[in-house]
Every structure is written in C-alpha cells, then in structure tokens.
Amino acid sequence: MRSFAGPSVAGRKVLITGAARGIGAALARRLAERGAHVALLGIEPDLLAEVAAECGGVPWRYCDVGDRAQVERVVAALVGELGGLDVLVANAGIAKQMAMIGGDLSVLEETLAVNVLGVAYAVSAAGPHLSHARGYVLMMSSFSASVQLPLGGAYSASAAAVASLSATLRAELRSTGAKVGVSYFAGIDTEMTVRGFGTAAAHTVLGDTSLTGNAPIGPAIAALERAIARRRATVVSPWWVVLVRPFRPVAQLVVQRLHGDRVARAVEIARTEDAPFTTEQPARPRTMERQA
C-alpha cells in the first residue's frame, strides 16, 4: 500500500539552542530518533553531554547565547561538524517574575539578553548557512505574547519581540527560499514552567495550578517535529491556543477577572521574594555597562 506520511526530518541538519533540558533536550532526542543530524548548544555542560550521548554522540558545545562573539564562534564550529545547516531551533530562554513598579529591572535586562538578543545572535550567525531552499528557522515565542499574566512582563515582552523578529526575518529570507516559523506554547510541563510558577508570588495569584494546568510535553514535541518537517509558519501547543489567540482582548479580560484582588498581594511578595531564573545564568555585563 502506498504511504502518505508526508515530509520527514530524516537527513535534516539541525542546530538547537538551549538543548540541555526541557523542550530543547526532548526535541533533540525526537529528531535524532527520526534520522535528523542534530547539534546542540547550551550552558549546562553535564546535561548537554548526556543529551548528546542519548542522541547517538552528536556534537555539542557550551555557549551563552547572550554573548554574541561566543555564539558566532560556536555556531560556526557546529555547522562545520554537521557539514552544513538546514534548521535552526532558537530555543534557549529564561523566565523570572518581576514587579513592574518596585521590582528588579535587571530581570528585564537579563531576560531580553537571552530571549531576544540570544535569538538574534543565533539567527545572525546561522543565517548565512540557512539561506537556501531547504532552510528553516524556528523561533520560540509564547502564548504570553498574546495574553499576559501579572509579574510576567519581562517574559511576555521577550516573547512579543521574538514574534516580531520572526515576521521580519520571514520577509527578508523569502527570496532565498528559506522559511521561518514561530511557536506559541502555553504552560508545557517542563522544569522551566514548574520553576517559573513555583514561587510564593505566583501561588498567590494562581493558587496551586495555572489557569489551564500544565500540558504534557509530548504533543508539543510532536508539533515541533511536524513544523520542522513541513517548515510551517506557526506551531501551537496545547491545541486550544489556536482557538484563543484570535480573541486576545477577551482572554486578557478573563485573566484579569480571575486574578482579581490577589494581584496586589502577589506584587508585594514579588518585590522582596528571592526567586531564581528558571535556568541559572553566567555572569555577563549589564546593557548600560556594555554601552559605556
């Protein structure tokens, strides 16, 4: 009987940032199982080495995506080991709660350095190798670019910026045949989500669970695999995200009503709570220090 399985990731040369854990690690394993040639980068060497071994001994490098020179050097090395590049998955990202008034604005600086500048650095370094008819860039945004939660301003801003960058890059790469995709995920059951919502301030707003609960990671990874195979413009998970996104203003009003008076107390807690980033970051110069 004839097979109508559709496009496959087999044989694709894929570079994944933030591949030490969570979505990045799970996607690397999935793509390697499906016959893709993957290369990994991240800031947790022991975990990266384990993931690389599970993927069949694929190449990997330590890389802080917030360091432009480091990204350029590491991407060039990994592309060389892969023998070219078909796909970049700009997955590296962090999150941390921040009160807009009275909060620590360095949280915003650090979040943008990783989630936005890190994406831009990776795209800039990998772009020349991807500008061909099979090329594909997948940027990881978030449902929070559409519907924002209290104390999540830094992460939501970074997600919205990534979505904007993806639209710009799509237009710029059109003549090369390369395509650009962007993901809009909500509450996937990963360490990042658990850590991000595991604070006293978050529990004050949301209670013991988020509005929808955390969705299993499996369907999200399957959706990413399909997006890479078909070079899709948009990928969502869980399924209901595609239904809610067109009604963002209504969804935002629902969020505000559900949280009610708990927000003021949560903001007070967040101003003094010692909450870590979802992934501990290496020391790097602050934005203003780099400009001095």
Catalytic residue numbers, as ranges: 155
Name the E strands within 108-170: 136-140
| Long-range CB contacts (within 8 A, 24+) of 126-131 | 126/15, 126/75, 126/79, 126/85, 126/88, 127/173, 129/79, 129/84, 129/85, 130/85, 130/86, 130/87, 130/88, 130/173, 130/178, 131/173, 131/176, 131/178
Q: How far apart are CA 34 and CA 44, in angstroms?
A: 25
Q: How far apart are CA 111 and CA 196, in angstroms?
A: 13
User: How many Cα atoms are found within 13 Å in the side-chain-facing hemisphere of 185?
Assistant: 27
Residue 28 in contact with residue 39, Cβ under 8 Å?
no
- Cβ-based neighbours of 152, under 8 Å, separated by 6 or more: 95, 97, 144
Q: How far apart are CA 103 and CA 281, in angstroms?
A: 19
Q: How far apart are CA 61 and CA 39, in angstroms?
A: 8
Token reading at 75: 């991407």
Residue 94 in contact with residue 22, Cβ under 8 Å?
no
Looking at residue 218, its amino acid is: G
